[in-house]
A and B are shown apart, each in its own frame.
Chain A
Amino acid sequence: MRMLRFSFINFRNGFKSYLSLVLSLSFSILVLYNFQNIIYSEAFAVLGQRNKQYIDMLIQTVSVVLVCFLFFFVWYATNVFLTRRKREIGIYIFMGMSNRKIGSLYMIEISFVGITALLAGVGFGVLFAGLFQLVMGAVSDTEIDVRFGVSYKPVVFTAVSFLTVYLIFALKGYWNIVRSSVLSMISAARQNEYVHRKSQVFIVKAVLGILVLAAGYVLANKGTNQDMLANALLAVVLVIVGVYLLFGGLIPLVFQTLAGRKSFLYSGQRCLWVNQTIFRMRKNYRTYAMVCIIGICSATALATGFAMRERYNNMILFDNQYTFQLLTNQPNLGEQAERLIRGEADIACQTSLEALSVDRDHLVVAYSDVKRAAQEGGLSPIVREPADNETFYLSHQMLLSLIMGNRQIPVTLGDEIFQETEVIRQPYVGYMQKQMGCFYIVSDTAYERLRQKSQTLYIHNYKIADDTDFERARAAIDVLISNTDENYTARVAVNPFDNDLEWIKVLHALCVFMFLVFIVAGGCIMFMKLYNDAFEEKERYLVLKKIGFSSRTLAASVAKELLGAYMLPFVVMTVSAYFSVNALGRMMYTNLFSIYLVSMLVVLGVFALCYILSVAVYRKNVGV
């Protein structure tokens, strides 16, 4: 009981120093709670069961990522915290306390931190749950049913996940203290972080880092068809290793070289902040590397979200190219169909095509026919006419495709062998193209040759002007459907109100949130690290003040040192993210450069904010 009281007094008195830890932990808890709350709040139930299932699945996946992230975040935060507290609580040894008792004291104290963070995180989470759902709905551009109220399930999930992770690291801290020697405890916070090593070690690390990173970039952007996924996975590993080597080798090497060039070093505050950065580098390089990797992940998450959103838009556009399509063996059905539809709805656009049923599995269309239909349907034209023995496959828009580049596949159309050289994703034959998956474009000559041995079919496509007329128009056209040997007519109707793909929009919103969560977390880690550093630097700045340096000079040095701390991961992140986003763009058949720029600007904004806060807090803590 006395221990509990003692720990509580410690926690209460030192709350200011715990604040950064409590805030960052509660932020992670808040995010986790809000994602979980979406599943149980039924906010997306209005989108239908199928969408809801997909969204729940996505959120569970995101939650797993968040819990993993929480794991590493708590690991990092408690480590930083333990080093700082160790020296303070180490003094209890002189009061006759055993290591076990000190460990227990730490456990209880850190439990107060955890419980405060949990209460604050869930509390604010509940408070902002409605707002979170609203923002989620707005970002994903979906209709959602915002419900205020607390469901115990997300609270339990969040609390259990967090407390489990937290307990692991509280126990780890306890074990660490129990096994620590008196000396190591007392000098823990003063452990010198010298990184001034032989340049050869840095050179080897730097060269390795550059090579590994370059290999990662090349691999991620190498277009070798089916190897893309394997390449991407290997590239991720290489980039992570490369970033660590870069921060552990190249950057200390650069700074050490700069410090050796006295003509550079002895200029203004450089002597202070360059040396300070070298001094801090050994411990901080892992933090910089971690923040850098988090930044790359966040930019890639955002780019994924936007690529998905673009893909969704393309899929919707593809599917809705035509509202009604008829596939028939009767040459003159088009006029009758048009008349029937016009009786109920205005037609915005209509096209007709001829197709050859060359065998049971393939339908062939002529290049010039498709070219005309494309023009009438307002679609981009085909780049070129296929060669005589060549064919283009008419595919459809997909959410994710790992097949890259052009292919050369032999296809037997009727009794002739053609080389399939292109896959076209324009809806020249509308939704039918996606549904049937058997359309091929051939040259006009080849088409005429195949005509002799094939049955001719007629395709009529109609897009209605007003979506609200859909049901009536469909009922009208349905009278034409028949399936006899002489009279074959099939109808395709695309309901413009169909929302089967709405979950993709939510995926987009989730990616945007993940981006923000990651980048804010990255900023938090940097802030926390520098906040902690400031306590260790206090004495040093006191010395500088004592020997006559003005607060202004020291403040300028702090500003430069911290600018370096934020800029280093930002620069490496900017270069690496360019390649990762580019690789993603290649995989998703889209140009994501603008998204890359936006994400980097947002990262810069978040970092700028954290930088300003860090400088203010650092200056306050070191007293300049």
Chain B
Amino acid sequence: MNDKKVVEIKNLVKSYGAKDFQTTVLKGIDLTIYKDDFIAIMGPSGSGKTTLLNILSTIDKPTQGTVMLDGKDVTRISNKELAKLRKDKIGFVFQDYNLLDTMTLQDNIALPLALDGVPARQILERIRELSAAFGIEEQLRKYPYQLSGGQKQRGAVCRALITNPEIIFADEPTGALDSKAGKDLLHCLRRVNESGQATILMVTHDPHSASYAKDVYLLSDGMMKCRIGRGNDRKEFYNRIIDLQTSIGGDFS
């Protein structure tokens, strides 16, 4: 395991509502993500997965606690710095791809670097590498509406990776894909993670997807209930996740 801490969450609390009618969604979460980790967070509906991801993505602010991202406490920095942090240090992958239908897949992938003022030649080189790794070289000139779900999502992962972010936050990345496309994507994610190209935090309700991660955390009632590691066998890891899910109960769909 790499010792470099990418994300460090301490006593994270998030409440919604007015004083007398407060609902606490996250109740003191502690989590440390090291470089080259591939973590899956699972939990039943309403367990606080999305809230946690939103806070980590700097889209939402916590009520209490600290979130250190690349050595900076994201709860205390200005909006301008947050935007820079989001742009430079974080890559996002969403369930519904969020590719821009106004441009080709290549332009979609290039966008973060283009806006950052990186020379075109470097951008094209980087796109070539990533598209080859994700098997979408043939699709680069196509528009999102001409692509399959799997191709779109692989493109979205390339876009997330192009800036060499410290961490990738993936929100149900296989949620809209068929099983074959989902599997292909997970293989790709695992490959980039294992080759040291990306630290990944994935939120999912799907045990099969989670089994591709190195560690799975189970979130329930706003608290981290347990963590299980993969070991060497993915299938055995999958079975353990299922067992854990059954023991915790709740709706994981």
* A and B associate: yes
Residues of A within 8 A of B (CB): 192, 194, 196, 259, 262-272, 275-276, 278-279, 540, 543-544, 546-553
Nearest-CB distance from B59 to chain A (Å)? 7
Separation in Å of the B235 CB from the closest CB of chain A? 34
Contact A279 B102, CB 8 Å, known A269-B115, A548-B86: yes
Inter-subunit contact A262/B117 (CB<8 Å) = no
Of the listed residues A264, A270, A548, the one surrounded by the most CB atoms of chain B closer than 10 A to its CB is: A548
Whether B143 pairs with A544 at a CB distance below 8 angstroms is no
Contact A266–B86 (Cβ < 8 Å): no
If A271-B107, A540-B102, A548-B87 are given as contacts, then 20 extra A-B residue pairs at C-beta distance below 8 Å, sorted by A number, are A192-B101, A194-B143, A194-B145, A262-B106, A262-B110, A264-B120, A266-B113, A266-B118, A266-B124, A270-B114, A271-B103, A271-B115, A272-B115, A275-B102, A275-B107, A279-B103, A546-B98, A547-B92, A550-B87, A552-B83
Asked if B223 is an interface residue, CB under 8 A from chain A, the answer is no
Q: If A268-B114, A550-B87 touch, does A544 touch B92 (CB 8 Å cutoff)?
A: no
Complex CA distance for A276 and B124, rounded to whole angstroms: 21
Alpha-carbon distance between A278 and B102 when the two chains are bound, in angstroms: 8
Q: Are the CB atoms of A265 and B114 closer together than 8 Å?
A: yes
How many Å from the CB of A282 to the closest CB on chain B?
Answer: 12
**In the bound complex, how far is the Cα of B249 from the Cα of A598, in angstroms?**
76
Complex alpha-carbon distance, A279 and B83, angstroms = 27
Complex interface residues of chain B between 103 and 136 (CB less than 8 A to chain A):
103, 106-107, 110-115, 117-121, 123-124
Residue on B with the closest CB to A271?
B114
Instruction: From B86, B92, B102, B124, name the one whose CB has the most chain A CB atoms within 10 angstroms.
Output: B102
B33 within 8 A of A: no
Q: Which residues of A contact B68 (CB under 8 A)?
A: none
Question: B114's contact among A266, A543, A552, by CB below 8 Å, is which?
Answer: A266
Q: A271-B103, A543-B98, A547-B92 are in contact. Are A262 and B120 (CB under 8 A)?
A: yes
B180: chain A residues within 8 A (beta carbon): none
Which 6 A/B pairs are nearest by Cβ-Cβ distance?
Answer: A548-B86, A550-B83, A279-B102, A275-B103, A266-B114, A266-B120
The answer for the CA separation of A56 and B110 in the assembled complex, in Å, is 63
Interface residues on B, range: 20 to 34
Contacts known (A543-B98, A548-B87, A550-B80); A268 close to B115, Cβ less than 8 A: yes
Separation of A271 and B117 alpha carbons in the complex (Å): 11
Contacting residues, chain B, for A270 (C-beta < 8 A): 114
- In whole angstroms, how far apart are the Cα atoms of A551 and B79 in the complex? 10
- Is A547's CB under 8 angstroms from B101's CB? no
Cβ-defined contact, B123 with A266, below 8 A = yes
Task: Please give the distance in Å from B173's CB to the nearest CB on chain A.
Answer: 14
Say whether B100 contacts A553, CB under 8 Å. no
In the assembled complex, the CB of A111 is this many whole angstroms from the nearest CB of chain B, namely: 35
Listed A/B pairs (20) with beta-carbon separation below 8 Å: A192-B101, A259-B103, A262-B110, A263-B120, A264-B120, A266-B114, A266-B120, A267-B120, A269-B115, A271-B103, A278-B102, A279-B103, A540-B100, A543-B99, A543-B100, A546-B94, A547-B159, A550-B80, A550-B84, A551-B83
Q: Specify the chain A residue showing the minimal Cβ separation from B98.
A: A543
Choose among A269, A276, A547 the residue that contacts B102 (Cβ–Cβ < 8 A): A276
Q: Is the CB of A546 within 8 A of B87?
A: no
A225 to B32, CA, bound (A): 88
Q: Name the contact of B90 in the complex, choosing from A275, A276, A548, A550 (C-beta under 8 A).
A: A548
The answer to whether A271 and B102 touch (CB under 8 A), given A192-B145, A194-B143, A196-B143, is no
Using Cβ atoms and an 8 Å threshold, which residues of chain B touch A279?
101-103
Docked pose: A303 CA to B106 CA in angstroms: 49
- Contact residue among A259, A548, A551, A553 (Cβ-Cβ distance under 8 Å from B92): A548
Contact B107 A259 (CB under 8 A): yes
Q: Are A265 and B100 in contact (CB under 8 A)?
A: no
List the B side residues contacting A552 at CB < 8 Å.
Answer: 83
Smallest CB gap from A548: residue in B? B86
In whole Å, how far is B71's beta carbon from the nearest beta carbon of chain A? Answer: 18
